[in-house]
Structure 1
């Protein structure tokens, strides 16, 4: 049976420097939602088709609040991506989640406020479920790949997504800890919501770089120490992606995953009341459901 999955990786520029990645090319993908963060890097790893997108652009040019999340997800969908793994640097809100550890997130609390969070708008309304915001099937593959890569990993956790670009105050950090959040970052919302609207399987690997400012040793952390963790995390992220790719590729359950039908019964607007301009704009994102 042919491999029909295409694995998309959203993350930093170091993630796509993987040994064995072949047939590589950078390609600009046009989107009706504007400019994606960068061109997409297409390649193959042991026969598995892959597409990489630097979330902040090569050279880290774009701050979290200015990322065009809609264009990024739309471009990946137009590139044929079926499964998305988001790789993100985070701060830890719990003592036991130490710098260097990876957390396979299963829940989010979205505290962003300056971002456009849906492909749908006046003229075409839809409400998708975000009760379980990540794909459990992809989470299984990531957990196995992390263990096979000897990465210290925790399965399950809540990611508090803040607006940024400033970091939290101590009061905010303690508030999020009181909510039993595990990690904090700035990039996975509305990315996860848009991936669900696009009917793509989505999972997050949160890479702990440091403790958030609640920790008594926070002020003693040096830049050198953080850079050391960042470099180790980048090496581990490459190893994780390399190990997870073949498992995603041979998973025959991917085609029938419920993520792929998230828009079933989600579109509310009656067919004769839909704005055709918006329908056309959503040809890649929602074409299956609209047709």
Structure 2
């Protein structure tokens, strides 16, 4: 890739998806395992998220005048459960259907990057009870919620993070090797998960109705 994680235009990406009719998003990402049992090749479908990024735009509703002259209201949305339960069910079922037993639940902690964690940071993440660490997956999760999109992430463990392994620490080459070895299988699971999602118009999850009754001050696509 040519963009580091902190320079991805997450707002533009999610807005573009909604503008072409997308209402449910599956966001796979490569992560490091924070526990020895979450080794390379593990597929973990988290149910919680911790944001440790520092410089990423996290909202559409910042009160700043947009290019079309509209001004979004400041909106405070619930985010207690960051991932769509229906999307998670589809992802888990798809993985099992491909004989890839996933880890059901866990916490993804997202760091700014592009560097990897120090051993002290990694051990602290593990001591907090978090499961995997990555550099993507947020703020797109909260931006999706702000657009009324269902969002689910599927994390592929490519390495043990610095605090969980006993060697020289994670390397970019190691990450790429494990990702390449699993990318075809992950792609198949993603296609199956898409087929297992409910029809957009029949969604009953709370994330699909996050904006009900809220005046955002702008017209969503």
TM-score of the alignment, normalized to the shorter chain, above 0.5: yes
What's the counterpart of residue 245 of structure 1? 194
Larger strand fraction of residues: 1
1:99: Cα distance to partner?
Answer: 0.5
Q: Note if 1:111 corresponds to 2:52.
A: yes
Q: What is the alpha-carbon distance in structure 2 between the residues aligned to residue 69 and residue 221 of structure 1?
A: 26
Deviation at 1:226, TM superposition (A): 4.1
What is the CA–CA distance in structure 2 between the aligned matches of 1:224 and 1:166, rounded to whole Å?
14
Structure 2: runs of 5 or more not aligned: 64-70
Structure 1 residues 224 and 61: CA distance shift in structure 2, 3 A: closer
Distance 2:182 2:76 in 1: 36
Q: Distance in 1 between matches of 2:90 and 2:44?
A: 13
Q: Which residues of 2 match residues 144-183 of structure 1 at below 5 A?
A: 144-183=93-132
Moved more, 71-80 or 238-247: 238-247
The residue aligned with 1:256 is 204
Deviation digits for residues 40-92 of structure 1, max 9, x if unmatched? xxxxxxxxxxxxxxxxxxxx111111111100000000011011000000000
The one of 1, 9, 14 equivalent to 1:73 is: 14
In 2 relative to 1, CA 217–137 (structure 1 residues): closer, same or farther, beyond 3 Å? same
* 1:38 corresponding residue in structure 2: none
The unaligned stretches of length 5 or more in structure 1 are 1-59, 285-291
Q: CA distance change for structure 1 residues 155 and 214 in 2, over 3 Å: closer, same or farther?
A: same
SS at match of 2:168: helix
> Which protein shows a greater Rg?
1
For residues 138 and 222 of structure 1, the distance between their equivalents in structure 2, rounded to whole angstroms, comes to 31
The alignment partner of 1:245 has SS state of helix
Please show how residues 164-243 of structure 1 align to structure 2 within 5 Å: 164-219=113-168, 226-243=175-192
Matched, 1:62 2:3: yes
Q: CA RMSD in A?
A: 2.0
1:136 equivalenced with 2:85 (yes/no): yes
Distance in 2 (CA, whole Å) between partners of 1:256 and 1:183 is: 29
